[in-house]
Amino acid sequence: MNLKCIIFDLDGTLVDSEQLGSRALIELLPEINESLEVLTDRYHGGKLAEILIDIESRFQCLIPKDFEVVYRRRLARIFEQALQPIPGAIEVLAQLEPPLVDRICIASNGPLAKIKDALRITGLADYFATNLYSAYEIGAWKPAPDLFLYAACQMGVGVDECIVVEDSPAGVEASKAAGITVLHFSSKPVEANSKTYRAFSDLRELPKLLMKLQQMDSPNISS
């Protein structure tokens, strides 16, 4: 494989933010009577607007029109207090340079301001510079393929010259729909599919996986 670019998801892949997002929802919406873990698992990698619609339906509550603004402010405060990089993220990003890979970027369902804050707080910002792509920029969210296709185009690479590193089912589905090989970072068992090279549970495994990909003619083989 002629690997030129790695497209990273952010939340749950490079920064440990998924439960923090659920924490903000629980703090702001007392009608929610589920645990942090259950809520996080249900809404993992989802679009906020769709999450709020589901919460209204399931918990029979009316969410104010300005809730997203309030939520983003609360989440930003929680991030400043508690956000951490995923174990191994800094170590791995420091290794991602030629000849292993030419360039890296972020493609996230979150707003650009949230992406920048998360990278700054966790010390990851310098690795990505301005190579940050948000679903809000193009009006299309995972599991649609548009964001990954947009990121590949902006980075000047073809879909056969990049891979996606993702933790959410929505992100894996988006990668498959875009025709991009995806490495599924997950602590849970993941069903293999024709566009997933493999699932892995420790981010520090990534450089070895990339080396293996570079040696293969066709990476679209599960193992």
Point out the residues that are catalytic.
9
Terminal CA-CA length for the chain: 16
Name the residue type at position 89. A
Q: Are 168 and 179 in contact (CB under 8 A)?
A: no
CA 136 distance to own-chain centroid: 14
Which residues on neighbouring strands pair with residue 198, listed in sequence order?
Answer: 183
Q: Please, how many CA atoms are within 13 Å of residue 166, restricted to the half-sphere of its CB?
A: 29
